[in-house]
Amino acid sequence: MNEICKICGSETREFYDKQFDTNFYHCPNCEFISKDENSIISEVDELAIYNYHNNSIEDQHFVDYFKRFLDSAVMKHVGSGKKGLDFGSGPSPVLSMILERDYGYEMDIYDMFFSPEKTYIDKKYDLITCTEVIEHLKNPMEYFLLFKELLEGDGTLGIMTLFHANSDEEFCNWHYRRDRSHISFFTEKTMKVIGEKIGLELVFTDNNRYSVFR
């Protein structure tokens, strides 16, 4: 029996990644790909992968990586409000530091492992950023619905995750799926469908890794 798509509810088709002995489920309707839940690693193993990341505000390469995202995708679509949330801020909240230092935002952060206090409860934000996070989420629509709830009426949501090529063969040779903590994979079409379902407009995508909603 085929899985139901976690984004749009359509029937998916299964394909097999022999290198990792893992099944994936591809939705022909919205192009979302999810990893078989029997192959999802434990939170302990996931945390071990994150602990290999050594990101710092002192690392100019890493700062530039975020600044490209902000300048080329996000900032042209923000309003005048300056209250922000970085969701999935990681072991070092570099993006929120940049938003405070260089763009004048007052930032909250949340991270399941590194900043687990839900600072966002009962708040509204002008900008929510979520970079290299949604590919780790088993049920991403739950989080997109949360983002919608947390946004001010003219708020902006900036998402970064690498898009797949919508080809089984290319997917099974793709470096991004080699990270065992990556379990959900998107395309521009997936993002459009998410926006339609939750009532946010996809105002920008580079059809590679950046998506901005309002």
Residue 182: predicted pLDDT = 96
For residue 177, pLDDT over 80 is answered with yes
Task: Judge whether 2 lies within some domain.
Answer: no
Mean pLDDT check: name the lowest of 2-6, 118-122, 133-137. 2-6
Residue 54: predicted pLDDT = 61
Task: Judge whether 97 lies within some domain.
Answer: yes
Domains of the chain: total: 1
Task: Judge whether 1 lies within some domain.
Answer: no
Mean pLDDT throughout 79-89? 97
* Cβ burial 140-157 (10 Å sphere, 16+ → b, else e): bbeebeebbebbeeebbb
Give the tokens for residue 82.
């300056």
For residue 203, pLDDT over 80 is answered with yes
| 47 or 99, greater pLDDT | 99
Task: Judge whether 5 lies within some domain.
Answer: no
- Of 89, 42, 95, give the one whose Cα is nearest residue 66: 95
Residue 53: predicted pLDDT = 62
Counting residues of the chain whose pLDDT is more than 90, the rounded percentage is 88
The pLDDT tens digits of the residues spanning 25-73 come to 999 999 999 999 999 998 888 877 776 666 668 788 889 999 999 999 9
How far apart CA 144 and CA 36 sit, in angstroms, is 21
The pLDDT tens digits of the residues spanning 100-130 come to 999 999 999 999 999 999 999 999 999 999 9
Task: Judge whether 6 lies within some domain.
Answer: no
Q: Domain range spanning residue 201?
A: 13-213
Residue 52: predicted pLDDT = 62
CATH assignment of the domain containing 107: 3.40.50.150
Q: What is the pTM of this model?
A: 0.95
Helix or strand holding residue 205 (H, E): strand 202-205
Residue 74 banded pLDDT, cuts 50, 70, 90: very high
Residue 2 banded pLDDT, cuts 50, 70, 90: confident
Task: Judge whether 20 lies within some domain.
Answer: yes
Residue 212: predicted pLDDT = 98
Task: Judge whether 3 lies within some domain.
Answer: no
